[in-house]
Amino acid sequence: MNRRLPSSVAHHTTMETETPSFTLLNLPGEIQNKIVGEVGPFGFLLLRATCRHFRNTVPPLDMGELLEAECSDTGHEQDLYACCLCLRLRRASHFADKMMKKDKRKLAGGGYSRFCMECGLKPPPGKNGYGRGTYITKNGVVSVVCIKCIRLQDPAQDANGKITQYCMDCWARTREGQEMQRQKETELQQGRERREKKREEREQRRRERRAGWGSEYEDTDEERLEDISDDERYYRFLQTHIDGNDWRDTYVS
Ligand SMILES: [Zn+2]
Ligand SMILES: [Zn+2]
């Protein structure tokens, strides 16, 4: 890396603090240049972060230097990747899965077009990020840049369970989404009606039983009783309420 500091930096020999200790800034310009020339792209980032003087005088890294910096030891250790839109090194958590795979993984050559999710959703003026309706996978979970409201959201599913380019809210306002909603409400209503009908039938049977067998009979297991035949139910009734075999014998004969 043959990067030299601008002459204004190299000839800067005054100290920014009162501390009379050894600093890069009070070295002769030629030595400063020699050191800065050796630190590599990641060193430039650190240098720019050191003090306002270097931040103002060391030019920001271009994408080529950032791609070099992401492959430094620290770049690997900290899982850093370069973004071509904000020209920063950012942690992997800021990038969609695809932005760190195949031709866009480190050293693969396609990193020049890699951008972080933030920049993709809100690209700087004149730059292209994620278009409307783009699916973005992060940690295996798919989201969509809603084609309508352009927010990154969970995608809505259509009637066949296929994911759409809409968020749930916007999908609910489409014709197809409204039709799905109507159908769902109809199904819910039909379910309610079925349950109500069953309940009425159960009530009716209970009333009939009470009328026939007397009110002291308490139906404690409606659901089960419903599933057995009338004959079986009557037989059980007899077993529960009448002791001895005499009566049953009489009944059976
Ligand atoms: Zn970015
Ligand atoms: Zn939306």
- Ligand 1 centroid to 95 CA: how many Å? 9
- Ligand 1 centroid to 123 CA: how many Å? 8
Nearest to 88, CA basis, from 134, 44, 138, 150:
44
Residues 191 and 211 in one domain: yes
Q: Confirm whether 249 is domain-assigned.
A: yes
- Ligand 2 centroid to 148 CA: how many Å? 5
For residue 61, the number of C-alpha atoms closer than 13 Å in the C-beta half-sphere is 26
Tokens 């308490």 map to which residue?
218
Taking the whole predicted model, whether its pTM rises above 0.75 is answered as no
For 50-97, how does the pLDDT look when each residue is reduced to its tens digit (9 = 90+)? 888 888 888 899 999 999 999 999 999 999 999 999 999 999 999 999
Q: Confirm whether 34 is domain-assigned.
A: yes
Q: In this structure, which residues have their CB less than 5 angstroms from ion ligand 1? A: 83, 85-86, 116, 119
Structure-model confidence comparison of residues 48 and 132, the more confident one: 132
pLDDT at 201: 96
pLDDT at 247: 44
pLDDT at 7: 52
Contact 110, 129 (CB under 8 A): no
Residues 136 and 111 in one domain: no
For 111-137, how does the pLDDT look when each residue is reduced to its tens digit (9 = 90+)? 999 999 999 999 999 999 999 999 999
Q: Confirm whether 1 is domain-assigned.
A: no
Residues 14 and 71 in one domain: yes
- Ligand 2 centroid to 152 CA: how many Å? 8
Could you tell me the residue range of the domain that residue 137 belongs to?
131-173
**pLDDT class of 235 with cuts at 50, 70, 90:** low
- Ligand 1 centroid to 197 CA: how many Å? 60
pLDDT at 142 over 80: yes
Residues 126 and 136 in one domain: no
pLDDT at 238: 65
Residues 119 and 169 in one domain: no
219 alpha-carbon distance from chain centroid:
51
Domain count, the chain: 4
